[in-house]
Structure 1
Amino acid sequence: MDGIKEDVAREVICPSVTSGGIDPGMPAESPRDMPAQRLERFDYSARRTLVNASARSSWTKRFFVLGGALALSIFAIYEMYLVLSIGDLTPVEQVVLGLFALTFVWIAIAMTSAIAGFAVIVRRRFTGPQRSKEPLKKRTAVLMPTYNEQPDRVFAELESMIRAVDALGEGDAFDWFVIADTTDAAVALQEEEGLALARQRLGGRTRLFYRRRRQNTGRKAGNVADFCRRWGGAYEHLLVLDADSLMDAETMVELARRMEADPDAGLIQTIPVLVGGTTLMARIQQFAGRVYGPVVGTGLSWWVQKEGNFWGHNAIIRTEAFTNCAGLPDLPGAPPFGGHIMSHDFVEAALIRRGGWNVIIADDLSGSFEESPPSLIDLAVRDRRWCQGNLQHSRLIAARGLHWVSRSHLLTGILSYATSPLWLMLLIAGLVLALQAHFIRPEYFSSDFQLFPSWPRIDPERALGLFVLTMGVLFTPKILGLVAFLSDGKARKAAGGFFGVLVSFLAEMILSALVAPIMMLIHTGAIVQILLRRDAGWNPQRRDDGGVPLTDLIRRHKWHVLSGFILGGAALADSWILLAWLSPAVTGLILAVPLSGLTGSASIGRAFKKMGILRIPEESNPPPIREDMLAVRPSYEAAVLKAPSFAETVSDPDLLARHLAFADRVLPRRRGAVDPVEAMAAAKIGEAESIREAATFLNAKEEAIVLATPRLLQAMAALPEVESPKG
């Protein structure tokens, strides 16, 4: 006990142990400095000068997209003013006009960007892809951050990608890393079982490594930064994946080739395609992303050009640019607006661009895949976390030295959630305007002297024209996406043919219209919680199962249902016509519970799949990389089921030796900075009379920290397996 207390008082750096020929979890460290960046100041003279100065972004493209959106918005806002200003604008009408202006600008930019994307896609059909065949000369570290994910999925994905890259003859250019932030000791041991099996199956043809951090400082961004500071010096590029990511080998190699060919490229982001969804909600997102996503993503890439964005995964990054420019500082204050930067990707892209590197969206590259949340509730949980991170950008948008397009990305992230309360307020203001005209006697003359009366009136003919314009702007990206998709004969046939795609299009439109008001209230509620300083935390995301018990559905959606009845009642109090206009929103909210349950059901999803509704080409013709992953996953599922428990690992010398070989070294700490969880675990081990008793003493957090601390494991292993009989 005294020895353990002494160890807690003075941290000992304990490298990974190699025993019995077991390869260590990680290679030798190759440190690289990654300083935290200053946001309130920037030395412009230190900005890197572009090697290819002629390859700058064009103002013409931006003028077309942003100027076109501005001109359209001015016209629509003026039309709305004319609709409302037959008489003097009342306060409610002024609110309606202001909210309409804010929301219309948002959809106008999406429309003009989609028009540009559509034109690029059509032109590209006649030119074909441009690819290089140069062999790779530089090294890339492929990083897969995990946080309590399914190890069988993670290692099956990695094995399929490793084999595919090896088959192209470029395996020597890539090293593969699982960088885990897993806090569940059982999952951590399953990860080690997956690593052992993957190394055995892959043999000596590749290098696959694993590291689990003891402390999750900085979450995912801190996880990647830790890798860069300790091993980044050995790699020119980082290819960052997510736990549900898959990429074709050709795409990965092409990313590395483009990075080698362009000395100014700091980051190249692919546009992932959603695949593998089984529930109806996942299929809705897949279909929308596959049909409408290309025109939106291509349009964005077309006008942002060298000032692109980063979405956190399925992208390649130049290590020099990342470490020199993108070290994230902690923000002053407590979460949700202070502390670690949650939506780190947008900020990292902005800082890389600030440092003089180009950030590019490779919209022409296919073969990049990910998965979507399986249910409306899972989507809400993910969006709650993203919403907090994006609203946190309000403290970063004015950082010194950022390019104005980078600031626009940050603003877009904020507005992607802030538009929900704006739409809600516009809906309420419009309803109040209708009720005011119906129930409140107009004041024909104000208290001030005037010759003509003033009362709230609108121009119905002009209002109808404005409604048609607004709907046209709102749905243009979807229509253009549908046209572009249907014009691709191969994709159209794989998705069910012309008629099948149209049926899926209508199904997606109806279901999305019903879900939209629920998401509007979910996002509005998330913003309210954040403004009340409630932190979202960091929870693992469900990937496959979307089933939710009925009691949870009722608890999560009861306020949505109540809002639907209130909205419907208020509309009916005015007229049946107003209720008919609001029926999509009212219906979606009132049916929130069954809608959420049905869209999260795998059986309903399978029924839609059997009927061919919401089918995407990757469903009829699965990507080979995904087929390979699904073929090898059962082997890892079986291995994970056989993973030893915490107590078994400590009790078995061979299992303990393997674990110690895989364990990360304990980093030095400042004297006196004692981790209370570690100290409590040490005290409990010191009091235990057997391994089994110690295991019963430790809670989940303590198990996880012991598993990552070799000296505590060795102290626990020194105990007898069971208590000696008391005599």
Structure 2
Amino acid sequence: MDVVTEMPPRAAETAPRPGLPRPEAATPPENRLVMPVQSFRSWKAAERRKPAAPLAWTTPWLKRLFVFGGGLVLTAYGAWEMYNVVSVSRTTFLQYVLLLLFTVNFSWIALAFTSALMGFFGLLFRTGRTERAESLQHRTVVVMPIYNESTARTFAALAAIRESVEATGLGAHFDYFIVSDTTNPDVWIAEERAFLALRERLGPGARVYYRHRPKNHHRKAGNIADFVTRWGGDYEHMVVLDADSLMTGTCIVRLAAAMEADPDAGIIQSLPLIINRNTFFARLQQFAARVYGPVIATGLAMWSGRDGNYWGHNAIIRTKAFADHCGLPDLKGKPPFGGHVLSHDFVEAALMRRAGWSVYMLPDLTGSYEESPPSLIDISVRDRRWAQGNLQHSRIIGAKGFVWSTRQHFATGIMGYLASPFWLMQLVVGILIVLQVNYARPEYFTQEFTLFPVWPRFDPERALNLFALTMAILLAPKLFGLLLTLFDGKLRRACGGTIRLILSSLLEILFSAFFAPIMMLIQSGSVFQILLGRDTGWNPQRRDDGSIPLKDIIRRHRMHTALGAIAGISAFMIATSLFAWMSPTIVGLVLAIPLSWASGQLALGLWLKRHKLLVTPEEGDPPAIALRANALQEEFAKAGFDEADGLKALHADPRLRAEHDMMLPEAHPRRRGEVEPERAVAQAKLVEAETIDEAAIWLKPRERMVVLHDRALVGLLSSLQPSKD
């Protein structure tokens, strides 16, 4: 086979100038692990490992009986009451459909209620916390996957995490790896510059490494898998972060100690709290996660036991077990239901549990933090991807060997998105029934003898009681969280005191009710698009506080507003009782544009913060690691890496070029006669350009990526004349 290697760069163009230190490797020597692709169709029980400590492996059957048995009893009662509501007279087809939809939706909130009730009692009578670790035996790596992120933010966070771990006195047991899937050329060079600056700042023995993948194959799951297969053999455990994660050194060390103390643990998940949020919508989420989140998470942890779930970040994983059992296969067919597994974390937890490793959460472990999207539109973008990933699990839920609890986690995730179209269909069926009552001619002469016409009727008193029960069950988890916060004097004062805490809860409940119908339509639209075969792709998440242009808000929500207005006018014309019944949904939809605009407003969020509303303890007494990360972010931002043109930065700094050259993987030879069009175009533009300014203007983003991946083209770039500025 005839092959041609890439054009070699001239030595003078890429080698560091005399006097410059020789570049250090950005990554340690590889220590590979094999990561075989798993099968969802075949599995033998004999392949499941036996517990190393079987006496410590207990299944919380009584707790599961309480949660699922209680949920079933509540659902049966709600369905019976709904049947009595619609069966005053002869029940029509539409009334049976309404009964079915109500039962499905009610079962969803009933299960959430019983799980939260268990979490409430678990937190009310909790005893003991995770012990402080005094020593460690094994090496752990902290892995931060990034994708077109702000380097000032991500590298500051990693630096703060490293400092915090070092402060525990056990820092020698930890390495740090930034694994980049960035596809923006300017961001890529900014990452390299930030990495080099951080490594220089920390000095010898920093144990901080950086790797950029040429192609982001299989997204985040592929990014982590690439790290595991190349360097995973060096580490007993890995702590996986997100780009917006923060974890204290104490939290990370305790996770590592918990993993070492439990030979059967495969994944241990922490409960990340939301911090650093200031827009109105993000503050609502931050408050809800802090006050209500522990109740929900504790209930989930109690009934899941060792059959828990993994949320993809802020967790510790046994590296060799992950490599052995978490190689994800591609699903047959095209996206959205085929292709690579989008929501990989649930599946990785399921595969670990199938192999005999336990997966569980430590909800009382403090020091784990994350951030949230700043506006309604931002969260809907992320939610679209999550919807596709969770619905894709419908093809995985029946896989061979999965334990019952794993399938329940999948079902919960799927139902989390199907609930919106079910709710929408319930509203539509309710409207159709009212239309039938008010406008359809009664059927006086049926096949069966009757003294009265067939006419859909309801029991209004039972309907009102059932509505009250439904709302009570729906709001109960929020009430449980509020009560626990009120019972804890220190926590209550940190949330602004009794009055402000109650006002904050009422504010959160009110605006959650307003936002709910908007999210219902957004999620319903996402589900329908997915069912029609539309793939979402993978867009980087916007993490900074900031508003969205009004024209974009109008474009995104004009149909929601129109639907709300049409529904309101129609309901009022049909019956005032129907209008009253639908008023919460109508108000939310009619106000969709101003609500979405308000959601991203920083000024509104800061006004609430000044008046101590929607306040969390982490705002009044910010975690030291958050303060340190924010300070480092300001310091790193002054370097201007994120604002710089990547090509110009590389052209101007010979040392950066030498480091960049060393970070590139070895070039693959190409066949003779085969020409890559983008590379040929990029090379032609570089040859014709006289200055770096011309090259920067002429080269398109994809061509820039081609240049940056090619040592020879980087050599051509370096030979251009400098900017005339």
TM-score with structure 2 length normalisation?
Answer: 0.94
Moved more, 690-699 or 275-284: 690-699
Residue of structure 1 in register with 2:77 after alignment: 75
Moved more, 460-469 or 281-290: 460-469
Residue of structure 1 in register with 2:46 after alignment: 45
Cα RMSD (Å): 2.4
Residue identity over aligned pairs, in percent, reads: 47
One-letter amino acid of the counterpart of residue 227, structure 2: F
One-letter amino acid of the counterpart of residue 107, structure 1: I
Q: CA deviation at 1:585?
A: 1.1
Q: Partners in 1 of 2:271 and 2:706 — Cα distance?
A: 37
Partner SS state of residue 269, structure 2: strand
Determine if contact 1:271/1:361 at 8 Å carries over to the other structure: yes
Equivalent residues, number = 712
Q: Partners in 2 of 1:7 and 1:554 — Cα distance?
A: 53
Q: Partners in 2 of 1:546 and 1:91 — Cα distance?
A: 49
Q: Partners in 2 of 1:134 and 1:41 — Cα distance?
A: 43
Determine if contact 1:677/1:705 at 8 Å carries over to the other structure: no
Residue of structure 2 in register with 1:6 after alignment: 4
Q: Deviations over 1:547-581 (max 9, x none)?
A: 11111111100110011011111220233333223
Alpha-carbon spacing, 1:408–1:673, altered in 2? closer, same or farther (3 Å):
farther
Q: Partners in 2 of 1:710 and 1:44 — Cα distance?
A: 50
Q: Partners in 2 of 1:330 and 1:586 — Cα distance?
A: 42
One-letter amino acid of the counterpart of residue 237, structure 2: H
Residue of structure 1 in register with 2:261 after alignment: 261
One-letter amino acid of the counterpart of residue 133, structure 2: K
Residue of structure 1 in register with 2:488 after alignment: 488
Determine if contact 1:117/1:296 at 8 Å carries over to the other structure: yes
Determine if contact 2:60/2:304 at 8 Å carries over to the other structure: no
What is the correspondence of 1:81-92 to structure 2 with a 5 Å cutoff? 81-92=83-94
Alpha-carbon spacing, 1:106–1:17, altered in 2? closer, same or farther (3 Å):
farther
Residue of structure 1 in register with 2:458 after alignment: 458
Q: Partners in 2 of 1:63 and 1:229 — Cα distance?
A: 41
Partner SS state of residue 320, structure 1: helix
Alpha-carbon spacing, 1:482–1:113, altered in 2? closer, same or farther (3 Å):
same
Q: Partners in 2 of 1:672 and 1:407 — Cα distance?
A: 51
Alpha-carbon spacing, 1:263–1:672, altered in 2? closer, same or farther (3 Å):
farther
Moved more, 377-386 or 436-445: 436-445
Determine if contact 1:666/1:709 at 8 Å carries over to the other structure: no
Q: Deviations over 1:501-546 (max 9, x none)?
A: 0010111111111000000000011111112211111111111133
Determine if contact 1:274/1:371 at 8 Å carries over to the other structure: yes
Residue of structure 2 in register with 1:476 after alignment: 476
Determine if contact 2:336/2:530 at 8 Å carries over to the other structure: yes
One-letter amino acid of the counterpart of residue 4, structure 2: E
Residue of structure 2 in register with 1:701 after alignment: 702
Q: Partners in 2 of 1:619 and 1:388 — Cα distance?
A: 34
Q: Partners in 1 of 2:673 and 2:405 — Cα distance?
A: 42
Residue of structure 2 in register with 1:177 after alignment: 177
Residue of structure 1 in register with 2:11 after alignment: none
Tell me whether 1:314 sits opposite 2:314 in the alignment. yes
Alpha-carbon spacing, 1:30–1:681, altered in 2? closer, same or farther (3 Å):
farther
Tell me whether 1:427 sits opposite 2:435 in the alignment. no
Alpha-carbon spacing, 1:678–1:256, altered in 2? closer, same or farther (3 Å):
farther
Tell me whether 1:99 sits opposite 2:101 in the alignment. yes
Determine if contact 2:679/2:703 at 8 Å carries over to the other structure: no
Residue of structure 2 in register with 1:194 after alignment: 194
Q: Deviations over 1:161-201 (max 9, x none)?
A: 11111011111111001101111111111112211222232
Residue of structure 2 in register with 1:510 after alignment: 510
Q: Deviations over 1:420-463 (max 9, x none)?
A: 00001111111222232222232244133346653211112222
Moved more, 433-442 or 135-144: 433-442
What is the correspondence of 1:270-285 to structure 2 with a 5 Å cutoff? 270-285=270-285
Residue of structure 1 in register with 2:398 after alignment: 398
Q: CA deviation at 1:625?
A: 0.7
One-letter amino acid of the counterpart of residue 76, structure 1: G
One-letter amino acid of the counterpart of residue 99, structure 1: L
Q: Partners in 1 of 2:570 and 2:613 — Cα distance?
A: 36
Residue of structure 2 in register with 1:65 after alignment: 67
Q: Deviations over 1:598-631 (max 9, x none)?
A: 1111111111111111111111111111011112
Partner SS state of residue 135, structure 2: coil
Moved more, 236-245 or 127-136: 127-136
Residue of structure 2 in register with 1:110 after alignment: 112
Alpha-carbon spacing, 1:383–1:674, altered in 2? closer, same or farther (3 Å):
farther
Determine if contact 1:684/1:694 at 8 Å carries over to the other structure: no
Partner SS state of residue 515, structure 1: helix
Determine if contact 1:17/1:24 at 8 Å carries over to the other structure: no
Residue of structure 2 in register with 1:612 after alignment: 612
Q: CA deviation at 1:668?
A: 5.2
Gaps of 5+ in 2: 9-13
Q: CA deviation at 1:220?
A: 0.5
Q: Partners in 1 of 2:62 and 2:172 — Cα distance?
A: 42
Q: Deviations over 1:227-259 (max 9, x none)?
A: 001001101111000110001111100000001
Gaps of 5+ in 1: 11-15
Q: Partners in 1 of 2:263 and 2:317 — Cα distance?
A: 12
Residue of structure 2 in register with 1:216 after alignment: 216
Q: CA deviation at 1:640?
A: 3.0
Residue of structure 1 in register with 2:161 after alignment: 161
Moved more, 536-545 or 216-225: 536-545
Q: Deviations over 1:320-359 (max 9, x none)?
A: 1111111111112211111111111111111111111000
Q: Partners in 2 of 1:706 and 1:329 — Cα distance?
A: 32
Alpha-carbon spacing, 1:674–1:334, altered in 2? closer, same or farther (3 Å):
farther
One-letter amino acid of the counterpart of residue 103, structure 2: A
Residue of structure 2 in register with 1:333 after alignment: 333
One-letter amino acid of the counterpart of residue 616, structure 1: T
Tell me whether 1:654 sits opposite 2:652 in the alignment. no
Q: CA deviation at 1:681?
A: 5.3
One-letter amino acid of the counterpart of residue 370, structure 1: E
Alpha-carbon spacing, 1:398–1:645, altered in 2? closer, same or farther (3 Å):
same
Partner SS state of residue 341, structure 1: coil
One-letter amino acid of the counterpart of residue 68, structure 2: L
What is the correspondence of 1:598-637 to structure 2 with a 5 Å cutoff? 598-637=598-637
